[in-house]
């Protein structure tokens, strides 16, 4: 067979990613309202909280300058809804508008393409007090917020992402500080809330196309290739189940505007069929994303669940509680793990790209991929993160393989541009290309240092992905 050697597309968006609450700090300044992340109890006092994070709010100019030095072509960041509309659905805060105006202008000054996530785990606490996503009024609030963003930034922002990892919020919400309904018919309430987010996302995609002729918008779930633990047909069934419940359930609605019938049948058996109002299905159908953005960290391996499975005994990555009875995640002995126990599967990355593209045929944008580890400054103020370089070498190589297998990918924005506070493991779990001098307990001087991986990535970008070194 002839081996193709297609290069990365000419305008490939080599970038990096962050989210507002994990980098900005300045949690209560310039009129910002509280988000659920600001008020979440920090269970472990030895973990960094997000009140300062890495103070990107005050240091964004210097940070963007470093991104420019790295040669980044894009920066994927999120806007904090509570800076724009402090109570979620009331008055617009001009200082919040100004902050992101300045940030976007700074990116444009360096020809870095802004890729904006509208909502990344940080719902307004005021909205949460009124029921959060369980309350249909949050759909209207999200639409209003989106309108403000499109009006203010639509002249410069071409790429919009609606909701970051809706599927992870639904499956693992409590771990990442997102509140899910408890008590009563919990499963039904969770999927009701999920439906409201789906409708909100669809409305915002429609609005974007109406207001901004040249903008492109898409969903941003976390998608994983799913393997069967064995060749037992039961385990293959579990893999199929997980693919549907974890991946396609979310993308089918976002892209095709329909609910996956197998997922719905499962929910019906669990007495968890949520309510859909008359117009909702029409709204879902009207929305047409221009691309699919997705985050990929690892594949998942599953077997058919044991009947006495105790979900509380599973690790974070294995927690799949809302779909008990369908599949049980197990560890994959063929894969190495990160220092934090996450499996590493570059080929799974290629498989994920191929599966999504084959199923939906839309251009793909990678909005997260990366490795969390313990980094430290050596006495020469250098950070030797060879393990991160290896991770990226292997993953970028697989994007190229996917391109040569026929997949259309137009950007790669690994997690993360700069060290930030992890969703639940503090700042000691570092992801950045840029090191920030702080620890979980001490803010220190917050000085920035480029890690070895950032110099390596700079060369990758310069060679448009040809030189992985």
Write out the residues near ligand BG6 by the rule CB under 6 A: 19, 22, 164-165, 168, 222, 295, 368, 372, 415, 422-425, 429
Alpha helices (runs of H) in 252-385, residue ranges in sequence order: 261-269, 280-286, 346-360
Torsion angles phi and psi, residue 21, rounded to 5: -70, -20
| CA pair distance 184, 186, nearest whole angstrom | 5
For 25, 129, 435, the CA distances from 40, given in Å and listed in that order, are 15, 13, 26
Three-state DSSP at 46 gives coil
Both tokens assigned to 149: 């963003």
Q: Of 223 and 267, which CB lies nearer to ligand BG6 in the complex structure?
A: 223
Q: Of 165 and 235, which CB lies nearer to ligand BG6 in the complex structure?
A: 165
Three-state DSSP at 145 gives helix
Q: How far is the CB of 310 from ligand BG6 (least distance, A)?
A: 23
Is the distance from CB of 227 to CB of 301 less than 8 angstroms?
A: yes
* 465 Ramachandran zone, left/alpha/beta (phi>0; psi -120 to 50): left
Q: Is 368 a catalytic residue?
A: yes
Q: How many residues does the chain have?
A: 469
Torsion angles phi and psi, residue 229, rounded to 5: -65, -25
**Maximum distance among all Cα pairs of the chain, rounded to whole angstroms:** 64
Q: Of 196 and 429, which CB lies nearer to ligand BG6 in the complex structure?
A: 429
Q: How far is the CB of 245 from ligand BG6 (least distance, A)?
A: 17
Three-state DSSP at 293 gives strand
Nearest CA-CA partner of 469 in 410, 403, 369, 393 = 393
Q: Of 21 and 304, which CB lies nearer to ligand BG6 in the complex structure?
A: 21
Q: How far is the CB of 242 from ligand BG6 (least distance, A)?
A: 17
Is the distance from CB of 76 to CB of 367 less than 8 angstroms?
A: yes
Q: Of 390 and 424, which CB lies nearer to ligand BG6 in the complex structure?
A: 424
Q: Of 149 and 168, which CB lies nearer to ligand BG6 in the complex structure?
A: 168
**Partners of residue 368 on adjacent β-strands:** 295
**Partners of residue 187 on adjacent β-strands:** none
Q: Of 250 and 274, which CB lies nearer to ligand BG6 in the complex structure?
A: 250
Q: Find the helix or strand (DSSP H, E) in which 23 lies.
A: helix 20-23
CA 317, 323, 327 angle in degrees (round to 5)?
A: 70
Q: What is the DSSP code string of 166-216?
A: HHHHHHHTTTTT-----SSSHHHHHHHHHHHHHHHHHHHHHHHHHH-TT-E
Q: How far is the CB of 39 from ligand BG6 (least distance, A)?
A: 18
Q: How far is the CB of 25 from ligand BG6 (least distance, A)?
A: 16
Q: Of 257 and 373, which CB lies nearer to ligand BG6 in the complex structure?
A: 373
| CA pair distance 18, 24, nearest whole angstrom | 10
Q: Of 234, 368, 394, 459, which residue is the catalytic one?
A: 368
Q: How far is the CB of 220 from ligand BG6 (least distance, A)?
A: 8
Catalytic residues: 368
């Amino acid at each position: 067979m002839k081996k193709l050697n297609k290069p990365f597309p000419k305008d490939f968006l080599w970038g990096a990613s962050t989210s507002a609450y994990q980098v900005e700090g300045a949690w209560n300044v310039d009129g910002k309202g509280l988000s659920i992340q600001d008020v979440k109890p920090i269970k472990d006092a030895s973990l960094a909280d997000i009140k300062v994070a890495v103070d990107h709010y005050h240091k964004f100019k210097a940070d963007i300058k470093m991104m420019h030095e790295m040669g980044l072509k894009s920066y994927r960041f999120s806007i904090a809804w509570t800076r724009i509309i402090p109570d979620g659905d009331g008055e617009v805060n001009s200082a919040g508008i100004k902050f992101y105006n300045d940030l976007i202008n700074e990116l444009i000054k360096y020809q870095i393409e802004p890729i904006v996530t509208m909502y990344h785990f940080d719902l307004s606490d005021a909205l949460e007090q009124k029921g959060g996503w369980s309350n249909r009024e949050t759909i209207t609030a999200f639409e209003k917020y989106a309108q403000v963003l499109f009006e203010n930034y639509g002249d410069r922002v071409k790429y919009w992402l609606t909701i970051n990892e809706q599927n992870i919020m639904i499956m693992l919400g409590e771990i990442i500080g997102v509140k899910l309904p408890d008590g009563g018919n919990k499963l039904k309430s969770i999927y009701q809330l999920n439906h409201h987010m789906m409708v909100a996302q669809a409305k915002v995609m429609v609005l974007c196309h109406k207001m901004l002729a040249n903008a492109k918008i898409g969903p941003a779930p976390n998608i994983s290739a799913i393997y069967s633990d064995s060749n037992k047909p039961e385990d293959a069934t579990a893999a199929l189940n997980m693919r549907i419940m974890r991946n396609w359930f979310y993308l089918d609605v976002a892209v095709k505007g329909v609910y996956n019938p197998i997922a719905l049948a499962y929910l019906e058996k669990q007495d968890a069929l949520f309510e859909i109002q008359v117009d909702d299905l029409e709204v879902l159908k009207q929305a047409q994303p221009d691309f699919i953005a997705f985050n990929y960290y690892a594949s998942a391996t599953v077997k058919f669940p044991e009947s006495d499975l105790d979900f509380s005994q599973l690790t974070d990555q294995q927690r799949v509680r809302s779909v008990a009875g369908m599949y049980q995640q197990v560890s994959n002995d063929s894969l190495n793990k990160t220092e934090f126990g996450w499996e590493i599967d570059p080929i799974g990355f290629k498989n994920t790209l191929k599966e999504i593209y084959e199923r939906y045929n839309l251009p793909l944008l990678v909005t997260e991929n990366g490795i969390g580890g313990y980094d430290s400054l050596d006495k020469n103020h250098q950070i030797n993160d060879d393990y991160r370089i290896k991770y990226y070498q292997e993953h970028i190589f697989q994007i190229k393989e996917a391109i040569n297998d026929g997949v259309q990918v137009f950007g790669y924005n690994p997690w993360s541009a700069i060290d930030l506070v992890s969703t639940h493991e503090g700042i000691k779990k570092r992801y950045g290309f840029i090191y920030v001098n702080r620890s979980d307990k001490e803010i220190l001087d917050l000085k920035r240092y480029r890690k070895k991986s950032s110099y390596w990535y700079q060369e990758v970008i310069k060679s448009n992905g040809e030189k992985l070194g």
